[in-house]
Amino acid sequence: MLLVMGLGAQGTAWPDDLCGKLRDGGRYVVRYDNRDTGLSGRVDYAARPYTLTDLADDAVGLLDGLGVGAAHVVGASMGGMIAQEIALRHPGRVLTLTAIMSTAAALDPQTGTFRGSERHPRLVEWDTRQLSEPPATDEQLIQARLDLARILSGSLAPFDEAATREIIARDFTRAGDVTHTMQNHVRAVMASRDRSELVGSITSPTLVIHGTEDLMAPFEQGRALAAAIPGSVLVPIEGMGHTLPAPALPRIASEILRHTSRVGV
């Protein structure tokens, strides 16, 4: 099972508890750092631009390196977009597809959100603050990420500021300032094709998991994605935002295990 993480996030953003539940369910779990994240190499985007199709090819290259012919592909957020591209470009490598808090829509450069949705006012406020008062120190960078995490958390569980800060600081220690990563990934998403009409050709059994309180990729994006892929199953998670909160992990793991058990290796 290949886990593909989202914009600016490292492979370690996949919760250990979720990975453990998938492992206990009999899956061999692989999580990794996308290009420009974590311990992977950094890219001068102006000199070497890339799109989500390139990141999809990276993932298939990883499967090649691991000697894996086909995998259950699970993507979160931008990782779900990459997972769609894997299924479109390399259908024989995808046993099943799971997209969590994701979309097939293109990112509108004018609005900063996915076509068909509007940017939430709280995100607009956060965007404005980053532009007017760019973080200048490590602590300010961590605080900015913490503020964003709070906005995206949803109501399923109380926001745990201490634990979230610890995770952000851990990732910062592992890979340094993620501003470069986030900027490049935004460029990659904006430069990528709209998949709204393309995903109808996906033949891999597909599961769409989406929080009802997602402010980054609103729930209608997940509903539209599921409607566009023939035979797909939509699982709403009440109160979940654009995150993977601890109370939702047993349900998410159970749904993924059920979905992937229908297709053998």
Active site residues: 77, 214, 242
Six token digits for residue 83: 């997972």
By C-alpha distance, which of 249, 252, 241 is closest to 156? 241
Measure the CA–CA gap between 225 and 260, rounded to whole angstroms. 19
Measure the CA–CA gap between 234 and 236, rounded to whole angstroms. 6
CA angle 155, 255, 262 (to 5 degrees): 165
Q: Which residues are 105's β-sheet partners?
A: none
Strands laid side by side in the 206-211 sheet: 30-31, 2-4, 71-76, 94-100, 206-211, 233-237
CA angle 216, 222, 227 (to 5 degrees): 155
Q: What is the DSSP string of 225-253?
A: HHHHSTT-EEEEETTB-SS--GGGHHHHH
Amino acid type, 191: A
Measure the CA–CA gap between 181 and 43, rounded to whole angstroms. 9
